[in-house]
Amino acid sequence: MSVQIHTHADRGAAIKAVAQEIASLVRTKPNAVLGLATGATPIPLYQELVRMHREEGLSFAQVTSFNLDEYQGIPREHAESYWTFMHQIFFDHIDIDPSRINLPGSQVPVDDMTAHCATYEAKIVATGGIDYQILGIGRTGHIGFNEPGSPADCITREIHLDEITRQDAVPAFGGIDQVPTSAITMGCGTILAAKKIALMAFGEKKADIVRKALQEPITDLISASFLRNHPNAAFHLDPEAASVL
Ligand code: F6R
């Protein structure tokens, strides 16, 4: 049991490989449960899946999706919410049943937070668990928004965003004051319960954290390092992200 490392010829090849895995899963198991990520990394993956839907008849009609995370304190319709991102980039262009789309709420009242997160977690379990989880990796080594200090068995909960993560979101939000300070995220335990996991990392900026996640001791300071304990997890890299391994 060791994490697979695929260094592809370029990011396009990595995207194609992951898209093919998702397509063959959805073709053999039409009611597959997909764990989805946002951020820059998976945008071309969603574009490729939309292309496969349009040109190759790939149907998501019976698929259930769970997104990893959502910012807190902004309306769901905010341009930078993950609800908006997912609809604009993916859901609005495929045949997924809107009732099978799941994201954490973006304005969950403090008093409802515990129940909201527990319901999200329970719904994942009730659907039979995530068959295929897509991940990116943050500069803090986070998967989902499991910032440094998140234990391997943590579940869906509200988390305070690391300052590095907030800085990385400044260009999108237009200023640090506009960047939310917290989010709801699936936990490391939620993610590690997925049957198959594909982490994608592209570009030189990810090289150092990829090396730490794969080659330094497994630690809750880098939640991506926990993937090395998963029986079916793969890192899909381009040559730049793999350049210091
Ligand atoms: C997104 C998420 C994050 C991102 C990570 C990398 O849903 O959970 O872990 O995957 O911050 O973001 P990008 O792809 O923008 O570098």
Give 135-158 pLDDT, tens digit per residue.
999 999 999 999 999 999 999 999
Q: 168 CA distance to ligand 1 centroid (A)?
A: 10
pLDDT on residue 2: 85
pTM > 0.85: yes or no: yes
Chain segment 49-84, per-residue pLDDT in tens: 999 999 999 999 999 999 999 999 999 999 999 999
Q: 95 CA distance to ligand 1 centroid (A)?
A: 25
pLDDT on residue 1: 59
| 4-237 is a CATH 3.40.50.1360 domain | yes
pLDDT on residue 42: 98
> Ligand 1, residues 11, 18, 41: which to mutate, most atoms within 8 A of Cβ?
41
Q: Which residue has the tokens 């570009």?
A: 203
Question: What is the number of other CB atoms lying within 10 angstroms of the CB of residue 219?
Answer: 15
Torsion angle defined by CA atoms of residues 34, 117, 147 and 140, in that order, rounded to the nearest 10 degrees: 30
Answer yes or no: is the C-beta of 142 below 6 A from any ligand 1 atom: yes
β-partners of residue 177 are none
Cβ–Cβ under 8 Å, residues 162 and 148: yes
Can you tell me the distance from the alpha carbon of 41 to that of 45, in angstroms, rounded to the nearest whole number? Answer: 8
Answer yes or no: is the C-beta of 39 below 6 A from any ligand 1 atom: yes
Can you tell me the distance from the alpha carbon of 65 to that of 106, in angstroms, rounded to the nearest whole number? Answer: 17
Give the chain as a DSSP string.
---EEEE-SSHHHHHHHHHHHHHHHHHH-TT-EEEE--SSTTHHHHHHHHHHHHHH----TT-EEEESEEESSS-TTSTTSHHHHHHHHTGGGS---GGGEE---SS--GGGHHHHHHHHHHHHHHTT--SEEEE---TT--STT--TT--TT--SEEEEPPHHHHHHTHHHHTSGGGS-SEEEE--HHHHHTSSEEEEEE-SGGGHHHHHHHHHSPP-TTSGGGGGGGSTTEEEEE-TTTTTT-
**Residue 171 burial by Cβ neighbours in a 10 Å radius (0-12, 13-18, 19+):** exposed
Atom of ligand 1 lying closest to residue 205 CA: 16
Chain segment 96-121, per-residue pLDDT in tens: 999 999 999 999 999 999 999 999 99
Residue 129 pLDDT exceeds 90: yes
Closest CA to 74 of 195, 162, 184, 225: 184
As a whole number of Å, the CA-based R_g of the chain is 17
> Could you state, in order of their start, the residue ranges of all structural domains in the chain?
4-237
Taking residues 208-222, what's their average pLDDT?
A: 98
Please provide the average confidence, as pLDDT, over all residues in the chain: 98
Answer yes or no: is the C-beta of 44 below 6 A from any ligand 1 atom: no
Taking residues 37-47, what's their average pLDDT?
A: 98
Contacts of residue 20, defined as CB under 8 A and 6 or more positions apart, other chains included, come to none
Chain segment 171-198, per-residue pLDDT in tens: 999 999 999 999 999 999 999 999 999 9
